[in-house]
Amino acid sequence: MRKQVRLLREKSLLIDGIPTEIRYKNIKNLYLRVCPPDGHIELSVPQRTSQREIEHFVSRRRAWIDERRRLFSVRAEKSEPQYVEGERIPLWGTAYPLVYRPLLRGKPYAERVENQILLHVSEDTDADVCRAAIIALYRTQLAAAIEREAPACEQMVGKHASLWRIRAMKTRWGSCNVRTAAITLNLDLARYDVRALRYVITHELTHLWVRGHDARFYARMDMYFPDWREVRRRLNEWARTEEN
């Protein structure tokens, strides 16, 4: 019978300036992948692997890692949104067509109206202003969703955040300050299905019970959010698909 691979714990390191997510599993060998869009490293390693072994493993593959990171950088530049009429803008798992509306006065802004994203701007507005309006839309939408979804998650977990923050984050979907109970969520969560937001909220609240990622943490996640692994897998797939 084939042995089931289990995730035992996780931790984050900065190795030679590269953000690295390390996942300790019941496996015999080390496996490395470089992940879009930012080129961070994901490592699957045996449970008793030392940090020195991990750093040596990464160092021996540095040339290949650097090449992969370079390719992701080039790809990101090519895939930068242009904010042209009809371009699809993702919001809560749905891609809405972008429609321009003339703005005679006031600050440019974006809003979702039925099945469209309306961008209210003047004729001479450049891409940076359009981008800022879309980001502001994401921030407003995510803030409202947190206010709507967090109470049920807090009641389920039995812990409450002292403060909810929203930030652009490159390597994490969320973070939790266990000392202050302040939780920060990735702005990009507004792009994906709301179930992904519920998963990340639950994940970060669970850290108020268990600081790290160990068997106790995963046991609580299984209790609060039984299909969290599938939701996490889909969230990461959505993110990779958008960048590829």
pLDDT in tens, 5-23: 788 888 888 888 888 989 9
pLDDT tier at 4, thresholds 50, 70, 90: confident
pTM: 0.69
pLDDT of residue 34: 87
Average pLDDT on 86-96 reads 91
Give residue 180's domain range. 88-243
Q: Residues 6 or more apart from 139 whose CB is under 8 A from it?
A: 166, 187, 190
Question: How far is Cα 234 from Cα 244, in angstroms, rounded to an integer?
Answer: 15
Domain membership flag for residue 83: no
pLDDT of residue 2: 56
Q: Are residues 110 and 33 in the same domain?
A: no
**Backbone torsion region of residue 164, taken as left when φ is above 0, otherwise alpha when ψ lies between -120 and 50, otherwise beta:** beta
Number of domains in the chain: 2
In CATH, what number is assigned to the domain containing residue 112?
3.30.2010.10
Domain membership flag for residue 16: yes
Average pLDDT on 44-51 reads 93
Q: Are residues 122 and 25 in the same domain?
A: no
- 120-136 tens-digit pLDDT: 998 778 888 999 999 99
Domain membership flag for residue 20: yes
Residues 20 and 57: beta-carbon distance below 8 Å: no
Domain membership flag for residue 32: yes
Domain membership flag for residue 121: yes
Domain membership flag for residue 230: yes
Q: Are residues 38 and 126 in the same domain?
A: no
